[in-house]
């Protein structure tokens, strides 16, 4: 069976922009689709949300919205980007998604969409564990919420393993960032042109499904 790996970070604006493509793939090729968080903005990739970075992020977000139609609200701008006490750290959201992966893997794409919507539309700080717990419980993902509330070694090991797998794929195939889509067919892996997911999303989905 062919497999399609989706490499992403929950705080990546372009990954949010690719949301409609991911929705289509999750609906039409759920058994082949595997989400792998890269950890791009966690650990050493985390940083304070200072004024300069917030301005850069908002400018980039506006470009993403123009290209994809995915909304970035004024509430997100005021309640997330303009709150300097917040960290730009995808670590907690990544662990939350790994908890979903372990307890309800078929709903991981749905959980990612909810986490992104909470930030970019509702203006919630999705780097905060209490916010993530409320989101998971609101989706009925109570087992995942319980794992996130009391993270154990098994959860953190799984989280680290998923990030390591994503980074290994990126190194092997020369992926420059996320989102990245990797098609595995007959044991061979191919990095797909992710820009096509934005320029012609329907054709990109068709390409993935036809492989």
Cα–Cα distance list, 114 to 56, 135, 137 (Å): 24, 7, 11
- pLDDT, position 73: 99
Assigned token pair, 5: 């790996």
Helix (H) or strand (E) holding 129: helix 129-138
pLDDT interval class at 210 (50, 70, 90): confident
Confidence of residue 91 (pLDDT cuts 50, 70, 90): very high
CATH of domain 3-210: 3.40.30.10
Tokens of 88: 């730009």
Q: Angle at the Cα of 72 (from 129 to 100), degrees rounded to 5?
A: 35
> Tens digits of per-residue pLDDT, 93-128?
999 999 999 999 999 999 999 999 999 999 999 999
Q: What residue segments make up the domains of the chain, in order of their start?
A: 3-210
pLDDT tens-digit readout, 134-163: 999 999 999 999 999 999 999 999 999 999
């Amino acid at each position: 069976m062919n497999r399609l790996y989706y490499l992403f970070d929950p705080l990546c604006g372009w990954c949010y922009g690719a949301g409609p493509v991911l929705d289509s793939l999750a609906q039409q090729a759920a058994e082949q689709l595997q989400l792998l968080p890269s950890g791009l903005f966690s650990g050493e990739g985390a940083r304070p949300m200072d004024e300069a970075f917030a301005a850069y992020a908002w400018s980039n977000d506006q470009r993403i919205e123009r290209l994809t139609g995915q909304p970035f609200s004024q509430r997100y701008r005021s309640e997330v980007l303009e709150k300097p006490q917040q960290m730009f750290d995808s670590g907690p959201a990544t662990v939350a998604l790994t908890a979903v992966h372990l307890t309800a893997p078929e709903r991981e794409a749905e959980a990612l969409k909810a986490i992104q919507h909470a930030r970019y539309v509702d203006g919630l700080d999705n780097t905060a564990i209490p916010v993530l717990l409320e989101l998971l419980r609101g989706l009925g993902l109570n087992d995942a919420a319980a794992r996130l509330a009391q993270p154990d070694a098994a959860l953190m090991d799984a989280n680290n393993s998923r990030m390591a797998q994503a980074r290994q794929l990126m190194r092997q195939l020369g992926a420059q960032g996320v989102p990245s889509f990797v098609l595995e067919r007959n044991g061979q892996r191919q990095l797909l042109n992710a820009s096509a997911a934005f320029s012609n999303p329907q054709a990109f989905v068709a390409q993935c499904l036809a492989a």
